[in-house]
Amino acid sequence: MRYTLAGLDCASCAAKIEQELRQIKGLEGVTVNFADQSLELPPELAEAAREAVSRVEPGVTLLQQAGRRPAAAEEGREEKRAPYAIVVAGLLLAVGFIFHPPLHHTPYSWAEYVVLLTAYLLVGGPVIWTAIRNLARGQVFDENFLMTVATMGAIAIHQLPEAVAVMLFYAVGEYFQGRAVNRSRRSIAALLDIRPEYANLKINGETRPVPPEEVAVGQRIIVKPGERVPLDGEVVEGTSFLDTSALTGESVPRKVKSGDQVLAGMINGQGLLTVRVTKPYAESSVARILELVENAAGRKAPTEQFITAFSRYYTPVVVAGAAAVAVIPPMVLPGATFSIWLYRALVMLVISCPCALVVSIPLGYFGGIGGASRRGILVKGANFLDALTGLHTVVFDKTGTLTQGVFRVTRVVPYHGFAETELLALAAHAEAFSTHPIAQSIREAYGREIPPDMVDEYREIPGHGISALVDGKRVLAGNDRLMHREGIVHEICDLEGTGVHVAIDGTFAGYIVISDEVKTDARRAVARLKELGVRQMVMLTGDEETVARRVAESLGLDAYFAELLPGGKVEKVEDLQAALPDRRRQKLAFVGDGINDAPVITRADVGVAMGALGSDAAIEAADVVLMEDAPSKLATAIEIARHTGRVVRQNVALALGVKGFFLLLGVFGVATIWEAVFADVGVALMAIFNATRTLRYRKH
């Protein structure tokens, strides 16, 4: 069950909540998604989790998520309230600055304290209260504690204007940071908000709008022009063009008519459609896509895991360093005064807050996942985005991935006195119950109805073919391996496609050539992957050597392996993984087209299911799902992953570089608290705004 953390507005709070929840039995692996304020929990542990959240962060509420994420209105109210306190505090600080020189050394200096302390409490009161509350719960090293200690230290050494300025600019930074994060959240929500609002349910000739969740399988709905298809189903009346861009990322309209399948999330064009629902809303395409993208942030990239661990140690180390700077130099350096070194220590404390890292990095990855989904590419986690950046080898299945998967009979070659028509008829009867595309093409070429009572003892031999008794004759139809297995002497076939060898009562009767065209997009995919630096591209297939060689050569692949059984494909992928020059950094991806490839997809470092629109098995097995039947989408996924990785690395370098630089300046007395505020608040804002670029990736 998915839950929302209403009021969660800081990344360190998210980390503390996650740490507390992991102490509960059954929630050891729970992950808090700061980017969209959510987490997954078993319903039976929700109450224990709610108490833990309230204990750690009383301002955060755990709510069961029903439909869209709540608290958006509350965020809006917070954004409106915050500026008033900031503006008033700013005016008071300005007054304090203006009258500071004439009042400071007079009996009326108390007026300066009244004005500046009022401003300080106005923007700093919530920070101080939160720091005290956290201290009471044993939580010391957070940004509230750092700001409180730094500003109170400044007050203690009579630096009131700077203390107020730190709190004021911290409040300004938090306000804009909150706005930036909320804007990113709303952008991502809008990006993914393909969830239909209602369904026009048709009952007894009348139509009424109902929530999609209330429509049962088998019921009929009306989809009007311009409306979003609310549930997966089959068109029973009407003709129209559908915009599938929300699911596939491609805006080319798709024509549908009676008997065609439609999927939730598509937008109807000008026609009126009557649709019979085939799946409940929870199992519809749009629901699965939303669930996958929302859950993706739970799988953290190595960079995220490093920053989470790093921030736990970074702040305490800086606080200890600041304490050492305040105490040790006055004791060992001649002429050093405690107030000067305390001021330098306070500068260090202001700089040390790790917000820029802990907020911007998860936001960057979530933006990358959201941006990919807009292009019809579902990435199941930030860890897979990272893996895509290091692809060394891409392995393709052949049929349906690199080729059209639409087979047709191009030649029938009989032997030993059999006629073409007889050979084709017996093969079609033998393939009568097979769902394989090759079997379908043979039946289509035969073109007549096949009486089921003519076929007996039907048996599929995995990786080989079919054995069946047709009108009393034992018919074998399959590949070359089947002939060898059954000890049937057969002719060497001149194939320009896939060959189906046919034997009748132990005698080789001939072969049927099935042609399957290479996809135009497959050539584009290979070219783009080479441009992106993928070192090796390999094809695996169960087809004969000659067919595999022809396809591999036409596409310019580096290697191919033919006549593989399903288990053989897994072994080849394992061999190719073992041969990677740098197993830790370099990754292997396998691209397949669905159910038959699930074992290999699961075994690869990155399993990619292609053309998986509406395929439950492929979506479950794969790490990356290309909703459109286009292998070149993998290259787009790599480009988005690399763009996201660049943004994340920029933020890490920016935050650590600027903070490190100003920490050194602070220790040597060059930087003041004003520079420290920039190093903290300014860098955090820059990193967050930079992170939002992952949402708007454009190929250069």
- Residue 698 phi, psi (nearest 5): -130, 135
CA 243 to CA 251: how far, in whole Å?
A: 6
Residue 66 has pLDDT above 60, yes or no: no
Q: Where residue 545 falls among pLDDT bands split at 50, 70, 90?
A: confident
Ranges of H-type helices in 249-381 = 285-296, 302-332, 338-351, 355-374
Q: Which of 491, 496, 493 is nearest to 508 (CA)?
A: 491
Q: Which of 273, 266, 260 is nearest to 243 (CA)?
A: 266
640-668 pLDDT tens trace: 999 999 999 999 899 889 888 988 888 88
Q: DSSP secondary structure string, 357-396?
A: HHHHHHHHHHHHHHHHHHTTEEE--HHHHHHHHTEEEEEE
Q: Which fold has domain 2-70?
A: Alpha-Beta Plaits (3.30.70)
Q: Kindly state the percentage of the chain with pLDDT values over 90.
A: 25
Residue 626 has pLDDT above 80, yes or no: yes
* Contact (CB, 8 A) for 514 and 498: yes
Q: Where residue 6 falls among pLDDT bands split at 50, 70, 90?
A: confident
Q: Highest mean pLDDT range out of 131-140, 142-151, 600-609? A: 600-609
Q: Where residue 68 falls among pLDDT bands split at 50, 70, 90?
A: very low
Q: Which of 362, 376, 363, 215 is nearest to 292 (CA)?
A: 376
Specify the pLDDT at position 71: 41
Element (H, E) at 625: strand 624-626
| More confident: 61 or 498 | 61
Upper half-sphere CA count for residue 76 (Cβ side, 13 Å): 5
* Contact (CB, 8 A) for 414 and 636: no
Span 216-279: which CATH code?
2.70.150.10
**pLDDT (mean) for 562-566:** 81
Q: Which of 289, 385, 375, 400 is nearest to 606 (CA)?
A: 385
C-beta atoms surrounding 216 within 10 Å? 9
> What Å distances lie between residue 553 and 51, 343, 546, 556, CA to CA?
63, 71, 11, 5
Residue 13 has pLDDT above 80, yes or no: no
Place of tokens 């059209």: 404
Q: Which fold has domain 408-515?
A: Calcium-transporting ATPase, cytoplasmic domain N (3.40.1110)
| More confident: 615 or 581 | 581
Specify the pLDDT at position 101: 67
Burial label, 521 (beta-carbon count in 10 A; 0-12, 13-18, 19+): middle
Average pLDDT, the chain: 83
CA 578 to CA 595: how far, in whole Å?
A: 25
Q: Kindly state the percentage of the chain with pLDDT values over 70.
A: 86
**pLDDT (mean) for 602-623:** 76
CA 224 to CA 204: how far, in whole Å?
A: 18
* Contact (CB, 8 A) for 416 and 507: yes
Window from 33-47, 247-261, 613-627 with minimum mean pLDDT: 613-627
> What Å distances lie between residue 464 and 91, 256, 595, CA to CA?
83, 37, 18
344-357 pLDDT tens trace: 988 888 887 777 77
The residues, any chain, with a CB within 8 Å of residue 71's CB and separated by 6 or more, are 4, 6, 7, 37, 63
Place of tokens 């052949």: 398
Q: How far apart are the first and last CA of the chain?
A: 40
Rounded to 10°, the helix 355-374/285-296 angle is: 160
Window from 183-197, 198-212, 269-283, 405-419 with minimum mean pLDDT: 183-197
Please, which residues bridge with residue 459 across strands? 467
Upper half-sphere CA count for residue 285 (Cβ side, 13 Å): 28
Specify the pLDDT at position 559: 95
The residues, any chain, with a CB within 8 Å of residue 641's CB and separated by 6 or more, are 368, 372, 379, 385, 386, 388, 389
Residue 180 has pLDDT above 50, yes or no: yes
Q: Which fold has domain 377-404+518-641?
A: Rossmann fold (3.40.50)
**pLDDT (mean) for 268-284:** 90
Strand ranges across the sheet with 559-561? 377-379, 624-626, 606-610, 587-592, 391-397, 536-540, 559-561
**pLDDT (mean) for 575-580:** 94
354-411 pLDDT tens trace: 777 777 788 888 888 888 888 888 888 888 999 999 999 999 998 888 988 777 888 8
Specify the pLDDT at position 276: 95
Place of tokens 């392996």: 561
Specify the pLDDT at position 387: 92
DSSP state of 620: H
Rounded to 10°, the helix 633-667/302-332 angle is: 10
Residue 112 has pLDDT above 80, yes or no: no
Helix (H, G, I), strand (E, B) or coil at 447: coil
Q: Which of 679, 686, 688, 685 is nearest to 166 (CA)?
A: 679
Return the structure tokens found at 55. Answer: 């204990």
**pLDDT (mean) for 281-302:** 70
Place of tokens 């057969």: 490
Say whether 397 is catalytic: yes
Specify the pLDDT at position 463: 78
Return the structure tokens found at 408. Answer: 């047709």
Residue 697 has pLDDT above 80, yes or no: no
> What Å distances lie between residue 385 and 142, 339, 364, 590, 634, CA to CA?
30, 49, 11, 15, 12
Rg (CA), the chain: 33
Detail the DSSP E strand segments found in 387-436: 391-397, 408-414
Residue 536 has pLDDT above 80, yes or no: yes
Which amino acid is residue 238, in one-letter code? Answer: G
Return the structure tokens found at 289. Answer: 């896509």
15-64 pLDDT tens trace: 778 888 888 888 887 878 776 677 888 888 888 888 888 887 777 888 87
Specify the pLDDT at position 495: 59
Q: Counting every residue, how long is the chain?
A: 700
Element (H, E) at 619: helix 616-621
Upper half-sphere CA count for residue 376 (Cβ side, 13 Å): 28
Place of tokens 């028509």: 421
CA 47 to CA 169: how far, in whole Å?
A: 38
Specify the pLDDT at position 310: 74
Write the Ramachandran bin of 540: left for phi over 0, alpha for psi from -120 to 50, otherwise beta: beta
Q: Where residue 104 falls among pLDDT bands split at 50, 70, 90?
A: low
**pLDDT (mean) for 126-132:** 86
Annotated catalytic residue within 142, 232, 386, 397? 397
CA 634 to CA 528: how far, in whole Å?
A: 9
CA 247 to CA 377: how far, in whole Å?
A: 9
Burial label, 259 (beta-carbon count in 10 A; 0-12, 13-18, 19+): exposed
Helix (H, G, I), strand (E, B) or coil at 117: helix
Which amino acid is residue 4, in one-letter code? Answer: T
Q: Do domains 377-404+518-641 and 408-515 have the same CATH topology?
A: no
Specify the pLDDT at position 111: 74
Distance of CA 559 to the CA centre of its chain: 31
Q: Where residue 70 falls among pLDDT bands split at 50, 70, 90?
A: very low
Return the domain boundaries, the chain.
2-70, 216-279, 377-404+518-641, 408-515
Residue 72 has pLDDT above 50, yes or no: no
Q: Where residue 183 falls among pLDDT bands split at 50, 70, 90?
A: low
**pLDDT (mean) for 189-209:** 80
Query: Does the pTM of the predicted model rise above 0.75?
Result: no
Specify the pLDDT at position 73: 40
SS3 track for 62-110: EEECCCCCCCHHHHHHHHHHHHHHHHHHHHHHHHHHHHHHHHHCCCCHH
